[in-house]
Amino acid sequence: MTRRPALLTPRAGSWALAAALLAGAASPVAAADRLDDSASPRSRVPAQVVMSNEGRPLADSLNPVTATVKFGRVDYKLATARYVGRQARIYYVVPAQINGLRSPAGLRVDWRGYGLFASGSARPGERQLVWTGTVREAWMSDGLDLSFQLDLRELQRPRDGQFGFESYFEIEVSP
């Protein structure tokens, strides 16, 4: 199941931006596995705030250059049963190819962890370590306060008016 935080919607001249988050864990020696987050509470999360660099809602902006999109807390429940008892690292991954984005410099994803996962930021094609330790339970649950910074000059708006991608988690386990 994909988690798609809806960022911007193409109503009344505004932009559409949808995002999805999946979970995964990985190790520097072993290949990374993508984690299943289908048990997470919601698969689609609407943006709570979409503001332009002009300090007003994007839909009401005259000549916006950037957009800040805030989702608030997005909760995840990652399936980690097959890794119980193993040393592991979990990474948050932003995919390299995002339809409609001209350059990775046009998007930055920022998050703040609520205890289990570390805070960080990433651009398309990057993965950031959010957790390391011994997996102790079949499920790993936490939330991220998620937001995006989007350079609208780097966005080629798709025909359907939607801009989106699926970010996810990877796990690497030590041998």
| For residues 71-81, average pLDDT | 94
- Report how many domains make up the chain: 1
Q: Which of 62, 92, 99 is nearest to 168 (CA)?
A: 92
| For residues 145-174, average pLDDT | 87
Is residue 25 within 8 Å of residue 83, measured between CB atoms? yes
Distance of alpha carbon 49 from its chain centroid, rounded? 16
3-state secondary structure of 156: coil
Least confident of 18-22, 105-109, 126-130: 18-22
Angle at 122 between CA 166 and CA 149, to 5 degrees: 80
What is the tens place of the pLDDT at every residue in 2-55? 444 444 433 322 233 333 323 333 334 468 999 998 898 876 777 788 899 999
- Please check the confidence at residue 160 and state whether its pLDDT lies above 90: no
d(CA 7, CA 90): 25
Residue 112: Cβ-neighbour burial (10 angstroms; 0-12, 13-18, 19+): middle
Pair of tokens at residue 115: 């205890």
Range of the domain at 144: 4-173
Instruction: Count the Cβ atoms, other than its own, within 10 Å of residue 116.
Output: 16
pTM of the model: 0.79
Averaged pLDDT score across all residues of the chain: 83
Kindly indicate the confidence band of residue 120, based on its pLDDT and cuts at 50, 70 and 90: very high
Model pLDDT, residue 140: 97
